[in-house]
Chain A
Amino acid sequence: MTTGATTTTGMKLSVSGLNSYYGPAHILFDVGLEVGAGEVVALLGRNGAGKSTTFRSIVGLVAERRGRILFEGEDVSALPTHEIVRRGLGYVPEDRRIFTELTVEENFLVGRQPPRAGAPTWTPEKLYALFPNLGEMRSRLGGRMSGGEQQMLTIGRTLMGNPSLVLLDEPSEGLAPKIVEQMADAILAMKREGLSIVLSEQNLHFARLISDRAYIIEKGRIRFSGSMAELEANPEVRDAYLAV
């Protein structure tokens, strides 16, 4: 695409032609997506559609991948994971993967990176304000926390790296309705700080609370891209590709 260069300028993250494999299995087919500065974009899709694989591919955790991944205008697809992350591209995995033997404070310490120009700077105190539950259990072991608390911890841990964009993999998965609301508030607060956010979700419910735009992925291919309003106006797309 010859117009690619011009349309991607100014984009925070621009992925194009992404193909990923697990061993012999081809999982992603020419996936492309773009995220503007300060935007919240939803990546929607059913179980096994390829959402997590997309995120893992962007941060270099999938060994076999091809495609262009521009972050702040630079191609990061050849970099090792830790260098991609150090440029300010934060990643929150779906299975949370908190360090169960470490306390809340120590989990934050692992994520800590130097402040970054053009990205909000986070401290443990600021995170305790964002997630008040965590403030009450600073020296509790990660393994002794509820699912919701662990989800907050894993997000806070990534924020400690002062990213300018975060990939949030199913942040509402398995949470009680009340916690889901808290989570939505927290993500909106992150957005107000100026963070760009991509979140993956299986259904619209949570995404519609916070997102500006959405992509729908199915069987490893992007099937829809548009604003939330456009998606709302297209019930047949929703029904075809999303869980109810």
Chain B
Amino acid sequence: MEFLVVQFLTGLASAASLFLVASGLSIIFGVTRIVNFAHGAFYMLGAYLAYTLTERLEGAFGFWGGLVLAGLAVAALGALLEIVLLRRIYRAPELFQLLATFGVTLMVQDLVVVIWGPEDLVGRRAPGLRGAVEVFGQMVPSYDLFLIALGPVVLGLLWLVFKRTRWGVLVRAATQDRDMVAALGVNQKWLFTSVFALGVFLAGLGGALQIPRDAVSHAMDLRVIVEVFVVVVIGGLGSVFGAFVAAIVVSELNAFGILVMPKISLVLVFLVMAAVLVVRPWGLFGKPEGPARQAPGVSIRPWRPFSPGERIAVAAGVALAALLPLVAGDYALTVGSEIIIFALFAASLHFLMTVGGLASFGHAAYFGLGAYGAAFAAKAAGLPMEAALLAGPLLGLAGAALFGWFCVRLSGVYFAMLTLAFAQITWSVAFQWVEVTGGDNGILGVWPSPWAAGPRGFYWLALAVSAAGIAALRVLVFSPFGYGLRATRDSVLRAEAIGIDRGRVQWTAFVIAGTFAGVAGALFAFLKGSVFPENLAIPTSVDGLVMVLLGGIETVSGAVVGALVYKALAIWLMSQTELSKLVLGAVIVVLVVAFPKGIVGSVEELRARRNRSEPNGAAFGAAKMEAAE
């Protein structure tokens, strides 16, 4: 009993930081409508800066001052980011905003390692709070008690700011109608910047407050952002009080989950989140969002199947690819196989995202499940490769069916956050459940059948399977199901009015996309001969998103082109520089800001412009159309 009380207190202490970070995310979203993926990065920067500052500054004053200073410094960085980057993309689709802020996250990850090194850092203990207090005969760290008190204090302060200051009232007004606030003479730009700075300050402070409890590491950003997403999904995006309650719920579930199911404690959080979503899709204290401003994939230029000429060109391209083993060496073929497998992965995500308008931030889950499924089938069940390639994707299918059922209840940013959270839960199961998955060590020795064991044989296998998969997805796009799916993307209301069951159609699309991702994953397992948790981690999901974006999100075949270019570029980059994340992050940011139509999108635009008799008039019309949005 006493032990449970102590465990409860530990949970409350963890909730404080989580609440700070989550409330910051919520406040920013409320006004700017941006889900700031970089929030975890700011949290991490807050911790690192606090580590350095508290090492340099002497005494109790130096310690506490250092924490606050770290928060302020991070807030200044946040303001800079807002001014330089976010102001350019406030009107962009949500997906782009998420991606851009994720690009920043990637850059920060490398920068942090450059500045502070790869080792975990253990910070100073809080002066005056080094000891422990006895509660029911158990020792509770005094610092935990301080954090427990801090949570409600911050909640109260935020409440005061929003209720009692003009700035707070302006923020609440802008949360409802930002254009009207401007029409009353308020400079939105600075309002947005200051809101962003406050939200980021809370994240930085949340990170800084962690240093007496936890080592500072360069992986803490993604860990916290996933928890924060879970918190805001449960509490309701935009609600500070919701963030407070949900932070406690999630932290307590973690604290007790460790006791009940030490290996898969996150599953408990998942169950609660799922229950909340079923009862209140917008979270406990959130308000239903309107439909997404603009679903990805909507294009002014109508899609059409390949013309006979194009069909011949594509067939020729595949044939040419099939001839590659005659000229290329083993290494090139292995790289080629990987690129081809990722083309299928990207195509499956494209199907969900561009055709279905559902931007998943956790598509790697189904890729990874397919890989693990194949590995289980080959290693545990002892099936040959051919059977394992069929069995593996079934795990991806099952995962997509389960998670998709919840995800398609949401749309827009909620959908993105939820898919990410599910993927991360899958990852943590793979990571924690060592007996079954091998944990960090993965599953090794997943070898292909002899005929496909050489780089040549496997290349042909990968090419055949991927080409068939991509072709099947393309056929689906132009099938009645594909048209129905696009109808739900373009207008839920109208689609439902003509008798389309939106939930069912989108769920089916989710399962299809997950299954094809699983096929790619199963191939990947045999290509590498092994499976690791990183196969279903966030970076893999984002790789897929970037491929689709790079190729051209509004196009039908962009995903394949994007995958080819991106994967080749990434493999090359990896061999050239230590700072591949920094470069990649920068590429993503530039892509989103300067090149949002992608490769195929730009090519199509050029072609369309050339085909038109009066190119300038057409371009003018399109430009004005965008301005009106």
Enumerate chain A interface residues (CB-CB to B < 8 A). Answer: 21-24, 59, 61, 63-64, 80-83, 85-86, 91, 93, 97, 99-102, 106-107, 109-113, 157-158, 161
Contacts and interface: CB of A to CB of B under 8 A. Distances in A.
B436 interface: no
Nearest to A88: B185
A99 B624 contact: no
Interface stretch (B114-122, B167-175, B325-333, B513-521): B167-175
Contacts of A59: 183
Contacts of A111: 184-185
B166 A86 contact: no
B176 A110 contact: no
B274 interface: no
The interface centre, meaning the residue of B166, B173, B188, B624 with most chain A CB atoms within 10 A of its CB, is B173
Given A99-B172, A102-B172, A24 B624 contact: yes
Contacts of A23: 624-625, 627-628
A111 B166 CA distance: 10
B624 A110 contact: no
A99 B176 contact: yes
Given A21-B628, A91-B183, A110-B184, 15 more contacts: A23-B624, A24-B621, A24-B624, A61-B183, A64-B624, A82-B183, A82-B185, A82-B186, A83-B187, A85-B185, A93-B183, A97-B177, A101-B172, A109-B166, A112-B166
Contacts of A85: 182-185
B184 A161 contact: yes
A111 B180 CA distance: 10
Interface residues of B, number: 23
A85 B624 CA distance: 25
A100 B176 contact: yes
Contact of A101 (B176, B181, B625): B176
5 contacts: A23-B627, A24-B625, A82-B183, A110-B173, A110-B186
Nearest to A143: B176
Contacts of A83: 187
A99 B183 contact: no
A97 B174 CA distance: 12
Which 5 pairs of residues, A with B, have the shortest CB-CB distance? A85-B185, A23-B628, A97-B180, A86-B185, A110-B173
A157 B183 CA distance: 11
Given A99-B172, A102-B169, A110 B183 contact: no
B605 interface: no
Contacts of B180: 93, 97, 99
Contacts of A91: 183
B169 A109 contact: yes
Interface of B: 166, 169-170, 172-173, 175-177, 179-188, 621, 624-625, 627-628
A191 B410 CA distance: 51
A63 B183 contact: no
Nearest to A56: B183
A100 B175 CA distance: 11
A37 B13 CA distance: 63
B629 to A, nearest CB: 8
A106 B170 CA distance: 9
Nearest to B620: A24
Contacts of A21: 624, 628
A197 B175 CA distance: 30
A204 to B, nearest CB: 28
Contacts of A82: 182-188
The interface centre, meaning the residue of B176, B181, B184, B186 with most chain A CB atoms within 10 A of its CB, is B184
The interface centre, meaning the residue of A22, A81, A102, A112 with most chain B CB atoms within 10 A of its CB, is A81
A17 B628 CA distance: 21
B187 to A, nearest CB: 5
A93 B173 CA distance: 16
Contacts of B172: 99, 101-102, 106
Contacts of B182: 80-82, 85
A109 B168 CA distance: 11
Nearest to B625: A23
Contacts of A106: 169, 172-173
A10 to B, nearest CB: 25
Contacts of A113: 185
Nearest to B179: A61
A111 B187 CA distance: 12
A102 B173 contact: yes
The interface centre, meaning the residue of B166, B176, B179, B188 with most chain A CB atoms within 10 A of its CB, is B176
The interface centre, meaning the residue of B166, B180, B627 with most chain A CB atoms within 10 A of its CB, is B180
Nearest to A86: B185
A64 B628 contact: yes
Nearest to B626: A23
Contact of A110 (B169, B625, B627): B169
The interface centre, meaning the residue of B177, B181, B185, B621 with most chain A CB atoms within 10 A of its CB, is B185
Contacts of A63: 627-628
A81 to B, nearest CB: 5
A60 B339 CA distance: 50
Nearest to A142: B176
Contacts of B181: 110
B156 to A, nearest CB: 19
The interface centre, meaning the residue of A82, A102, A112 with most chain B CB atoms within 10 A of its CB, is A82
Nearest to A81: B182
A32 B621 CA distance: 26
A137 B172 CA distance: 20
A91 B186 CA distance: 13
B628 A99 contact: no
B569 to A, nearest CB: 36
Contacts of A158: 184
Contacts of B166: 109, 112
Nearest to A22: B628
A85 B173 CA distance: 17
Nearest to B188: A82
Contacts of A80: 182
A213 to B, nearest CB: 25
Contacts of B188: 82
A81 B125 CA distance: 51
A190 B619 CA distance: 47
